[in-house]
Amino acid sequence: MKLYDSEVSGNAYKVRLMLSLLDLPHELVPIDLRAGENRNEEFLRLNPRGQIPVLLDDQRIIWDSQAILVYLARRYGGERWLPLEPAEIAAVMQWLAVAENELLFGLARARAVKRFGRPWDFEACQEYGRAGLRVLAAHLADRDWLACGRVTIADIACYPYVALAPEGEIALDDYPRVMAWVGRVQALPGYTGMQGIESVT
């Protein structure tokens, strides 16, 4: 199994984290985004969108972090990580949508402005990210995990850019329920961290 990866990408980290939680042996293939390695012909044969992460497993190519999480959960994790019951799978998918909206366009982009000099509206990104954190905090008021009463790929999809929020100058101290959830993720057996994510456990 190979993961085409960048150590600074929160989306790639989602997959590294999932692979670690599932204790799946894999090879990391670093892709230098600044050098444009994601736009060369070889990489575009793997993912025509020119984005990381990309997973290669038994000659099967899967791109997009959410799709890879679904694949890994279903192939290697059983129903623990991605249930089959319709209402439960819908509950998980709702949070994958949050990960791809408020958390990506808010928290991740605010981080990208500060860390990588991207040209987005910093204050607008921060506000959108805070809106996502408020939704998370309200949901976590009476539960430990985002869906199904247990850890699922919903939590893994949302975790990286929440935990990286301080790099976009958004303090998680203002969201104690979210901080407690971050701590629960960090306490999972097999957890692996990422540069820029502070330990709260």
> Which amino acid appears at position 188 of this protein?
L
Contacts of 45 (CB under 8 A, 6+ apart): none
Question: Per residue in 9-31, pLDDT tens?
Answer: 999 999 999 999 999 999 999 99
Domains contained in the chain, CATH given: 2-77 (3.40.30.10), 80-186 (1.20.1050.10)
| CA 1 – CA 25 distance, rounded (Å) | 7
Q: Closest Cα to residue 105, out of 93, 117, 97? A: 97
**H or E element in which residue 2 lies:** strand 2-5
114 phi and psi, to 5 degrees?
A: -75, -40
Give residue 78's pLDDT. 87
pTM: 0.96
55 phi and psi, to 5 degrees?
A: -110, 135
| Other CB atoms within 10 A of residue 189 CB | 7
- How buried is residue 49: exposed, middle or buried, by Cβ count under 10 Å (0-12/13-18/19+)? exposed
Question: Per residue in 91-106, pLDDT tens?
Answer: 999 999 999 999 999 9
153-163 helix and 86-99 helix, angle to the nearest 10 degrees:
20
The answer to whether residue 201 scores a pLDDT higher than 80 is: no
Helix, strand, or coil (residue 65): helix
